[in-house]
Amino acid sequence: MEAAASLVNWPSEGITRVPFQVFSDDEVYEREQQRIFRGPVWQYLCIEPEIANPGDIVTAWMGETPIIVTRDAEGQIHAMVNRCAHKGALVALRGKDNAKHLTCVYHAWSYRLDGRLRSIAFQKGVNGKGGMPEDFDVSAHRLQPVRVASFCGLVFGTLSDETPPLEEYLGPRMSAFIQRNFGRPLKILGRHSQIIHNNWKLYAENVRDSYHATLLHTFYTTFKVNRLDMDGGIVLSDKKWHHISYSKRATFNLDREYLTAEVHSAKYGAKHGDSALEGPQLLDAWDEFDDGITHSIQTVFPNLVFQFTLNSLAIRFFAPKGVDKTELKWIFLGYERDTPEQTEMRVRQSNLTGAAGLVALEDGCINEFVQRGTVGAPERAAFIEMGGRVAESNESSRATEASVRGFWHGYREIMGF
């Protein structure tokens, strides 16, 4: 813990400051791999429809650790490190597969779908010569197991024995909202993936940042999809690691702050009434829930996001690929029970987000702007005081960075900074 504290000199103001060093320091990145990604957190692996059948196999990542998720012949889900017990090669090479066994291409060590070694090539040698020592025991070797848990069709893994049970890790309020959005059979509608050239934590901040959504994303503001002059709020989990941000489109009540040049400049966006959609059906939506919520972002520490905008439901997962490189994956979802018309509306609305989305396009570059702006100044720090200096839920306003502070609260706790 002492070594951790001396690695980063966190400003005395605490969670309202974030030293830029944490976005570009290789030692910090290594410590994150150890303390967070190999530590006591649950990380998203896949959704159950991806491994619906016996023998289904998908690959995933927990930080930089490659993972295999399988469904065995009995229907049981397993996860294991994708690293051969012989010399460490990747065993599963495809993102998605179906097989009876997992066999390493290098020297053909073969594993059961639960990760146990079943056979190795030339164990007894060839022509009676060579081979493993007499005392070689197949049952003494296996792919490193990963604890796995599933909730509402979402499959999570952890590499630590200390991680609390999944629903305890999420907490009651977060679990209830996941139940709202994912608590019925899911149907995959499409996917994207993109590389973003920034530290993974800038994306973790960005998705918790309800302050920027109405300013950076002029599409949201112009077409009244998600604005701060709609009723909404921020909910932090008990430990402040996870959050929900939500808004209710029907409560839109124009706030004069939006009419100022700074908020709605002619240079960066359209003035009220100036813009119209050529295809207004893009924003056709139906009420799916009786809580009035029409836009929500939910995060699960460290690198998972659920987004439900109008009727467009998506999972976003962002995997660190180096100190200044992150892979962002999107899965767009509907429900098995959807009508063809509902599916079409969800697919149409998915144009708002994803790699080239009318809204999410901006997040793909803004985090890189921060990376580029901060890389040369590890001794300086971000200033995060919108909405106060604490990390608490606020169900009356989203003009706050409370959930960003919540992320840093959790990060400091787990990293020992």
Footprint on this chain of ligand FES (rule: CB under 6 A)? 84, 86-87, 89, 104, 106-107, 109
Distance CA 100, CA 280 (A): 49
For residue 23 the two structure tokens come to 């976005």
- Least Å distance, CB 212 to Fe ion, is 6
Helix (H) or strand (E) holding 304: strand 304-309
Round to whole Å and give the CA distance between 312 and 368: 26
Closer residue to Fe ion in complex, CB, 25/363: 363
50 binds Fe ion (CB under 5 A): no
Which among 25-33, 155-163, 363-371, 409-417 is the span making contact with Fe ion, rule CB under 5 A? 363-371
Residue 205 binds Fe ion (CB under 5 A): no
CA 21 to chain centre: 23
The nearer residue to Fe ion, 56 or 363, going by C-beta atoms, is: 363
Residue with Cβ nearer ligand FES (34 or 119): 119
Minimum CB distance to ligand FES, residue 296 (Å): 44
Q: Which is nearer to Fe ion, 50 or 229 (CB)?
A: 229
CA distance 319 to 53: 26
15-23, 259-267, 361-369, 394-402 -> range binding Fe ion (CB under 5 A): 361-369
Cis (ω within 30 of 0) for the bond into 302? yes
Given a contact cutoff of 8 angstroms between Cβ atoms, the answer to whether 185 and 193 are in contact is no
Quick one: what does residue 239 bind among Fe ion, ligand FES, none, with the CB cut-off 5 to 8 Å set by partner type? none
- What are the DSSP E strand ranges found in 72-174? 77-81, 96-98, 102-103, 110-111, 117-119, 145-151, 154-158
Shortest distance in whole angstroms from residue 106 CB to ligand FES: 4
Nearer to Fe ion, 170 or 213 (CB): 213
Q: Which is nearer to Fe ion, 58 or 305 (CB)?
A: 305
**What residue 401 binds from ligand FES, Fe ion, none (CB within 5 to 8 A, per partner kind)?**
none
Exactly one of 363, 401, 407, 411 binds Fe ion (CB under 5 A); which one?
A: 363
Q: Nearest approach, Cβ of 88 to ligand FES (angstroms)?
A: 6
CA distance 22 to 86: 36
Q: Which residues pair with 80 in a beta bridge?
A: 68, 145
Report the distance separating Cα 192 and Cα 239, nearest Å: 31
124: partner contacted, choices Fe ion, ligand FES, none (Cβ within 5-8 A by kind):
none
Partner that binds at residue 104, options Fe ion, ligand FES, none, CB closer than 5 to 8 Å by kind = ligand FES
- In eight-state DSSP terms, residue 143 is P
Which of ligand FES, Fe ion, none does residue 107 bind to, with CB < 5 to 8 Å depending on kind?
ligand FES
Out of ligand FES, Fe ion, none, what residue 308 binds, judged by CB under 5 to 8 A for its kind, is none
Identify what 138 binds: ligand FES, Fe ion, none; CB under 5 to 8 Å per kind: none
Residue whose entry in the numeric block shows the structure tokens 């709020």:
233
**Nearest distance from residue 247's CB to Fe ion, in Å?**
13
H-type alpha helices, 244-316:
none
**Residue 71, Cβ density class (10 Å: 0-12 exposed, 13-18 middle, ≥19 buried):** buried
3-state secondary structure of 18: strand
Terminal-to-terminal C-alpha distance of the chain: 8
Stretch that binds Fe ion, among 42-50, 238-246, 284-292, 357-365 (CB under 5 A): 357-365
In the numeric block, the tokens 């605490």 are attached to 14
The one of Fe ion, ligand FES, none whose footprint includes residue 87, by CB under 5 to 8 A per kind, is ligand FES
Q: How many CB atoms lie within 10 A of CB 385?
A: 12
Q: Give the nearest distance from C-beta 362 to Fe ion in angstroms.
A: 6
Task: Write down the least CB distance from residue 217 to Fe ion, Å.
Answer: 6
* Contacted by 363, from ligand FES, Fe ion, none: CB < 5 to 8 Å by type: Fe ion
Q: What is the spatial distance between Cα 223 and Cα 270, in angstroms, rounded to a whole number?
A: 10
Positions that interact with Fe ion (CB under 5 A): 363
